[in-house]
Structure 1
Amino acid sequence: MLSHHESPAQFNLVQLGTRLRFLRTQRDWTLSDLAQRTGLSEAYLSRIESGDRQPSLAALFDLARTYHISMAALFEEEPLNRSVVVRQADATVYQGNGLLYRLLSSQGDGANLRPIHVTIPANRQNEHLYHHEGEEWLYVLSGQLRLTLGGEAFTLSPGEAAHFDARTAHRLDALNEQDTEILVVSCEASHILLRSYL
């Protein structure tokens, strides 16, 4: 969690450092081992892993090549050791923005994907459009959905899906005076630091 003394950039550097340390220790490599494999100094690698220094683009390429992963994978969070099963009886129903929703993952804020079961009441009294960072994918389970996306409206029936950039203003409405149930999977833009290089 971001502390009161950390800027977003510092927080992202610490997250990157944690990820890089995880990748190294997962392979049982010391900093010396990694330095020999990448040609980067131990001191430089140590400062990157501690979040004290922003690595150069060339250093990131060297690290990705050494770990045999993509550049984007360097910015993923390390796996979370939490329960992967969510029972219906354990899922709390929340209310917000005129919607009812249940979280379908126990991974919390540390996860990139956020699956949610959403019920859109037929009598929803909210006319606001929303936008945020990341992507959204939704799938209609029951009822009829009107998805307003930017200046366009789409009607979706059960079995139909939509995938869109969540920065586009959007809104969900139930049609035909019937509640609509959907699955929503959102993915926050977690690669802010990566985008700063590109």
Structure 2
Amino acid sequence: MGSRLRELRQARRLSQRELAKRAGVTNSTISLIEQNSVSPSVSSLKKILDALPVSISTFFAGDEPAPPHHFYKASELTEIGDGHLSWRLVAARRAERRMSIIHERYPPGADSGEEMLEHDGEEGGVVIAGRIELTVGDEVEELGPGDAYYFDSRLPHRFRNRGSEECVIVSANSPPSFAEGGHEQHHV
């Protein structure tokens, strides 16, 4: 992750200090990430990539669009999580994608970040295993296997696994927040 961030920062001729200023993080945060001494939270990584601007899927998958195909093996899903959370994106490099489908895994104690997430679009998902605490606006609900959610993504939201077992979710959002094909929208 560190070398990829350094490569993208240098390609845009930004110093660590300038990128930190644009992203609203400390200079030492950028330095530690680039040295692979720390893994940023998903929300921190999003802020940094928004400052470049680079989509999360481009950051992890590279810039090459893939020819469309209909089936994806588990090994072909693109990991866009933060090293603690696992978010595996289906068809990450497919150009002109109109939605994002994500296989999410939250280990016990995992959190999408203290800073609530907000972005354009809608999202929904179904809990496959475990439990997740989902905050949307002022509402907080704990969801378990078979429970689902659907909301306007412009509302502040946060995912937390307060349980003792891994939570698995299959989610979708539209428009694709982990974008390819030149659209630089993000969701984490």
- Give the TM-score, by structure 1 length: 0.50
- Report whether the alignment pairs 1:91 with 2:81: no
- Report whether the alignment pairs 1:180 with 2:160: no
Q: 1:111 — aligned with what?
A: 97
1:1-198 aligned at under 5 Å gives the runs 82-96=68-82, 99-105=85-91, 108=94, 110-124=96-110, 126-188=113-175
For the residue of structure 2 that corresponds to 1:172, the secondary structure is strand
Letter in 2 for 1:85: F
How far apart in 1 are the matches of 2:95 and 2:69? 14
For the residue of structure 2 that corresponds to 1:138, the secondary structure is strand
How far apart in 1 are the matches of 2:83 and 2:127? 19
Distance 1:109 1:139, change over 3 A: farther
For the residue of structure 1 that corresponds to 2:75, the secondary structure is helix
- For the pair shown, the structure with the greater C-alpha radius of gyration is 1
Residue 123 (structure 1) shift: 2.4
For the residue of structure 2 that corresponds to 1:182, the secondary structure is strand
Residue 117 (structure 1) shift: 0.4
Residue 90 (structure 1) shift: 2.0
For the residue of structure 2 that corresponds to 1:89, the secondary structure is helix
Identity among equivalent pairs (%) = 26
**Ranges in structure 1 where 5+ consecutive residues have no aligned partner:** 1-79, 191-198
Greater relative contact order (CA < 8 Å, ≥ 6 in sequence): 2
1:86-124: per-residue Cα shift (whole Å, max 9, x none)?
Answer: 111222333239521111235635211110001112122
How far apart in 1 are the matches of 2:78 and 2:68? 18
- Give the TM-score, by structure 2 length: 0.53
Q: Which has the higher helix share?
A: 1
